[in-house]
Amino acid sequence: MRLRGIRRSKNVEVRSGGRRGGRAGGMGVIGLLIVLAIGYFTGIDVSSLVQSGGVPQQQTQGAAVSDADDRATQFSAQVLATTEDVWTKVFRDQLGRTYEPPRLVVFSGVTQSPCGGANGATGPFYCPADGQAYLDTSFFTMLSQQMGAAGDFAAAYVIAHEVAHHVQNQLGILPKVDAARRTAGKVEANVLTVKLELMADCLSGVWASNVQGLMEKGDLQEALNAARKIGDDYLQSQAGQVPQPHTFTHGTSEQRSRWFARGYETGQVGQCDTFAAAQL
């Protein structure tokens, strides 16, 4: 991804770690992978963790963000700047609205949010309570080395996915889905979550469609590969499990890559309505 000369967003906060704890809502994609890996290598039944989206709480002291993390911080700030430019334009041109960008909290080790504790195991996530996205500086290494999703555009796609949740929040979609999930059964709540996540993948594709001038050869494939690597069926298969669709919370590899591609090919927010889709 060509970011030379791209401004850094001012909506980035770099903070030192706090103390670790569980957070509300579903676990991040890296957290899911780690939990499944624990089950695979130890033989422990982690199905309840996968279904609940929780991870065991721990207490550990965080570390300050070091100079070695500056490159990741700069990259994140520049990618965030591209999302600000894209969504300001898309909100104006397609929705007739004003876009209010989120803040991105970059931390090392652990930190706290209104949604609970955050750490490397939770992965990047968006907290609607404060309208901020959270990103551990170790994320980029984990994405490439542990998840097999290498490339700067793969990392940019995941940042864009979390920003897409902010877009959903601004459009009133996220609070409606959260309210519906609270009154739904477990399986029904998972289905709603899958639709929410696939919509965010599609919105990430809309962002990508609007930054094609910054993309290099292979960038699109990096994003599609990342989407496949974080599909629920792929993660469960990698953990030695038979995929259980009723436990899915983010969608299959095929669904995630297809909805991203849909947003990329159309560039239209209106094409991302997974809740009205006849088939996911």
Note the pLDDT tens digit of each residue in 89-125. 999 999 999 999 999 999 888 888 999 887 766 778 9
Kindly write down the DSSP assignment for every residue of 47-59, as one continuous string.
HHHHHHT------
Give the pLDDT of residue 121.
66
Evaluate whether residue 278 is within a structural domain.
no
Q: Quote the number of domains for the chain.
A: 1
Residue 41 confidence (pLDDT) = 30
Give the domain range for residue 180: 12-272
What is the structure's pLDDT at 138?
81
Average pLDDT on 133-148 reads 83
Rounded to whole angstroms, the Cα distance separating 20 from 61 reads 7
Residue 4 lies in a domain: no
34 against 236, higher pLDDT: 236
Q: What span, in angstroms and rounded, lies between the C-alpha atoms of 241 and 238?
A: 7
Instruction: Work out the pLDDT band at 219, boundaries 50, 70, 90.
Output: very high
**In which band, very low, low, confident or very high, does the pLDDT at 144 lie, cut at 50, 70 and 90?**
confident
At 55, the pLDDT band (50, 70, 90 cuts) reads: very low
CA dist 270 and 58 (Å) reads 42
Query: pLDDT tens digits, residue range 28-44?
Result: 444 444 443 333 332 33
Query: How many other C-beta atoms are found inside a 10 Å radius of the C-beta of residue 135?
Result: 25
In a domain, residue 3? The reply is no
6 within some domain: no
Cα torsion through 101, 26, 273, 247, rounded to 10: 170
How does residue 67 score in pLDDT terms, banded at 50, 70 and 90?
low
What is the pLDDT at residue 120? Answer: 66
pLDDT of 26 above 50 = no
Distances (CA, A) of 85 to 14, 40, 215, 223: 21, 42, 16, 20
Question: Rounded mean pLDDT of 147-165?
Answer: 92
